[in-house]
Amino acid sequence: MRAQRSAAACVSSSRSPQDRLHCRRRRVLDAHTHAVVYCSSTGAGRGEKDKRHYNACLLSALSGNACLAEISLILLVFVRTLRELAPKPVRSESRMLFMAHREDSWFKSLFVRKVDPRKDAHSHLLAKKEDSNLYKIQFHNVKPECLDNYNKLCEDVLPSIHADPNYPCELVGTWNTWYGEQDQAVHLWRYRGGYPALTEVMNKLRTNKVFMEYRSERGKMLLSRRNQLLLEFSFWNEPLPREGPNIYELRSYSLRPGTMIEWGNYWARAIKYRQRNNEAVGGFFSQIGSLYMVHHLWAYKDLQSREDTRNAAWLQEGWDEVVYYTVPLIQHMESRIMIPLKISPLK
């Protein structure tokens, strides 16, 4: 009504085009003010009813011919109205939720199992002390059409490096992924002598013409590649060559930072439950690459043997407790079933 009275007053007192434009602007502003007052009193613009009422106010203000200037003004008014009617965040409620979350976290911390603070590196506490072996695991994602040629190239070159006494390294195993990430090759190397041995091998390979040609040809077949440097858990077996045929499972765990010692404490007791069928091949934790990564390598005759062996572990008293306490330490886990290549010492 207010907008209509204002419009009538403008029409009766104004005749020139400038006055008519001024009158239309007054109608738009009056309609805008009326809509804001109405919507604020009925819930700050929430719901379809408020939107329809505001649109009706604008339509009533736009009755007649509207020029470009009026349309621009209407758009500006509409944006302004949306800002005014937008619900404001309730800071007090947000702060209450934040404080409740902090209190909840503090309360939960009373029941979280804590690890005693250590004054030594995890690698010194968890790795074998009688040797200084360093392991490197490589993941090569191969172009699907190149996998056979890639395997043949590896079979031609890698055994010569493994057998050469001038290189202080050994090929522990080499596989293709069967189940898991497809068209992937996995290589596991051992460097007897730790980081100095790794550096020595890398320097010698740079001058090895056969290896450099192999590396160049290999690069044409790969989609991506990554590697990690690993140490071996002190309570695991050292990976030794074994006769086949076997399938291998590589179970990779990404742990929560700060839980590696706790993981090692539990698995030092748990490994005895997984030795009945000689399935434990090796256990490793990362030093360079993706950190707080654990890799467990298992060997089985076939998939059914894997199923039977894993089910048998649950029948042993104590295995369920290990699983119960180690699962909360895991952020992400992955399993690969792998088939060894002909040249793999782990058959």
pLDDT value, residue 9: 46
Q: How far is CA 125 from CA 29, 81, 247, in A?
A: 76, 65, 31
Model pTM?
0.64
Give the C-alpha separation, 222 to 145, whole Å.
Answer: 10
* pLDDT for 319: 86
CA distance 54 to 51: 5
Contact 186, 282 (CB under 8 A): no
Contact 255, 292 (CB under 8 A): yes
pLDDT at 84: 56
Distance CA 317, CA 312 (A): 11
- Tokens 């902090």 correspond to 102
pLDDT at 63: 54
> What is residue 61's predicted lDDT score, i.e. its pLDDT?
52
pLDDT of residue 59: 56
The DSSP code sequence of 182-246 is SSEEEEEEEEETSHHHHHHHHHHHTT-HHHHHHHHHHHTTEEEEEEEEEEEBTTSPPP--B-S--
What per-residue confidence (pLDDT) applies to 301?
94
Which residues in the chain are classed under CATH 3.30.70.100? 132-340
Which of 1.20.1250.20, 3.30.450.20, 3.30.70.100, 3.40.50.300 is the CATH number of 132-340? 3.30.70.100
Residue 192, beta-bridge partner list: 133
pLDDT of residue 290: 92
* Below-50 pLDDT ranges, the chain: 1-14, 38-39, 42-47, 65-66, 68-69, 88-92, 94-95, 97-98, 100-116, 130
